[in-house]
Amino acid sequence: MKAAIIRDYDTPIEIADIDPPALKDDSVLIGVHAASVNPIDYILQSGAMKDNIPLAFPHVMGFDVSGEITQVGTDVAGFKVGDAVFARANQQDAGAIAQTARLKADEMALKPANISHEDAASVPLAGLTAWQALISKAKLKSGDKVLIHAGSGGVGTLAIQIAKHFGAHVATTCSPRNADLVRDLGADVVIDYHSQAFDEELSDYDIVFDMLGGETLNRSFKVLKKGGTLVSIKGQDTGGLAAQHGVRFEWFLMEPDGAMLADLAKLMEDGIVRPVVDRVYPMSETTDAYAALKDGHVVGKIVVAIDQA
């Protein structure tokens, strides 16, 4: 099969012919139609996390995937050959930018029939991150005031919609060119981070969801009311600011979860949540897809389409 691979840490991505993954009893194989790219992909590629998350080479790039089941393991129930599914694969099954991928049954969900494979592939990592941050960690409830940083990004666009679905009042930060988009997604308050200081504009919030770290994280504590919650996927509370402000702080890493992804799929089927895709690249231009992601001006997600021919 053709796949986008690296042969060692900090080496270029190349499109090469490699053996497809072997079927396991608890997994399925899918013919991949689309994958999406995420910062974790090139962080792992660089070798920055090799002590914690070592890679086996050749390593196939990508975790987010959508495709059609071609083989089913003997222990798999609830899925069959021909089903269209999407998932965020675990580390051992990583390899989305390829003609064939392996997925664990408990990490995937049926793709909503009303969205394309390209749209579906854009959702898993970002959608699960948003859901776990707001619902699992922050315990968001109807009426909560929520600040979501980077609202026009891959996680932010889905987080806004999830928070609104659960009844929150949502503020978000973004550049002026994306203000209309985030309002359309449901944001009640839009902060232009170029000209406005969010920590001067906002106060008495129940939840802040941080995806930026650094000074943005540190300033976010001031936005919360006593007893509020700051959830971050980017930085740590190294200064003990949570205790100083009388709030709760949580840092976490997203975990693949097929049941949670199925809940997201239902929201997409019902038109409550819609994916936002910036651009779709062919697999031959995977390097360009990652370059665009690193550039930092992506709206929503970047997707790679996989040709099965």
pLDDT in tens, 92-108: 888 999 999 999 999 99
Per-residue pLDDT of the chain (309 residues; tens, 9 = 90+): 999 999 999 999 999 999 999 999 999 999 999 999 999 999 999 999 999 999 999 999 999 999 999 999 999 999 999 999 999 999 888 899 999 999 999 999 999 999 999 999 999 999 999 999 999 999 999 999 999 999 999 999 999 999 999 999 999 999 999 999 999 999 999 999 999 999 999 999 999 999 999 999 999 999 999 999 999 999 999 999 999 999 999 999 999 999 999 999 999 999 999 999 999 999 999 999 999 999 888 999 999 999 987
Q: In angstroms, rounded to a whole number, what is the distance separating the alpha carbons of residues 64 and 34?
A: 8
**Residue 287 has which token pair?**
């390097």
Q: Which domains does the chain have, with CATH numbers?
A: 2-123+276-305 (3.90.180.10), 126-251 (3.40.50.720)
Enumerate the H helices of the chain as residue ranges.
Answer: 39-46, 117-121, 124-131, 154-165, 179-185, 198-201, 214-220, 241-245, 258-269, 286-295
Q: Quote the tokens at residue 186.
A: 């449901």
Other beta carbons within 10 Å of 21: 19
Cβ count within 10 A of residue 8: 11
Q: What letter would DSSP give residue 55?
A: P
